[in-house]
Amino acid sequence: MAPAPAPDTAPVAAKLSFLDRYLALWILLAMGVGLGLGRIFPQLGELLDRFTVAGVSVPIAIGLLVMMYPVLAKVRYNETGRVLADKKLMITSLVINWVLAPAFMFVLAWVFLADLPEYRTGLIIVGLARCIAMVFIWNDLACGDREAAAVLVAINSVFQVIAFGALGWFYLQLLPSWLGLETTSAEFSIAAITASVLVFLGIPLVAGYLTRTLGEKAKGRDWYEGKFLPKIGPWALYGLLFTIVLLFALQGDNIISKPLDVLRMAIPLLIYFVVVFGAGMLIGHWLKLGYPRTTTLAFTAAGNNFELAIAVAIATFGATSGQALAGVVGPLIEVPILVALVYVALWSRKVFPAVSTSTTSS
């Protein structure tokens, strides 16, 4: 019997492009630029708020669309059927995303912010908004399964439209009343949630599918993946950095002027992202999903739809509310933590070689 092939032990950093290798630095710089702009030009937030359609910020939407399109153009849509057939992955993702993760955020919000109801409510809303955008970036950088990511995000989107309002009522009113805690009255617009899903996922998903289908039909898969995708690939990170600058410019003054409040929100968020990601990796490893799908499971569970959380908080409580600030602090903590977890995921391939047996789509 021939010996099993040795695992790839080359340093992961050496396999990344210059832009990817120093992504953490670029993100920190983008955050700094955004915070600086928000501080120097406090009226910038009001100016950006004028460009809003159906509760969706047009500048942020442009950044997210530019970010998501190249990643979704990489998905091999004709191979998504194999993902749907993986019942273990589907069921596990739904349980973590819609049962365990929101409940965990609820507990953290009450443990750390019991005396700050606005921030507590904001964090609970963040926990209810399951990721449909930036997860593609983290999953791609960590060599996760692109087809699995597309399917799981699509399922999250459907559940988001159906379940977000009901879960908001449960975690803000019903469950606190059962536990003898303070309740929060909030009405969530189904139209705003649907618009967020259609814009931030629907448009780039359709564009990516059409690009893949038409490109392969015209030039073939070798040209499409060898020539076309490398040209548009860097635009995903350009869009990410542009979006980060805008997000932090919107609340730069509040973030800088309330450092202790930000710190108090940062602690439960940090715990949330690390614990949920770690749980996803351990569960995927235990279920023998393979490294690519385990990574996708972990990132789709840990990431949150901050654009929806911010939009809902602003529409329900106001742009200057503590809930809106909590929504902005979400990506302030999420982005650098999930960038770090990309490297953790890549490193885990050597520590847990058994999860590297599945074919990656990187």
Q: What is the pTM of this model?
A: 0.80
CB within 8 Å of 156: residues ≥ 6 apart: 97, 130, 131, 132, 300
For residues 330 and 345, give the distance between their C-alpha atoms in angstroms, rounded to a whole number. 21
CB crowding 184-197: b at 16 or more within 10 Å, else e: bebebbeebbbbbb
Q: What is the pLDDT of residues 28-86, one digit of tens each?
A: 898 889 888 877 877 776 777 677 665 567 887 888 788 888 888 888 888 888 888 89
Pairing of strands 52-53, 56-57: antiparallel
Spatial contact of 248 and 31, defined as CB atoms under 8 Å apart:
yes
Amino acid at 176: P
pLDDT of residue 135: 86
Domains of the chain by range and CATH?
16-356 (1.20.1530.20)
Amino acid at 219: K
pLDDT above 80: residue 275: yes
Tokens for 188? 């969530």
Q: What is the pLDDT of residues 292-312, one digit of tens each?
A: 999 999 999 998 887 778 777
Q: What is the pLDDT of residues 261-270, one digit of tens each?
A: 999 999 999 9
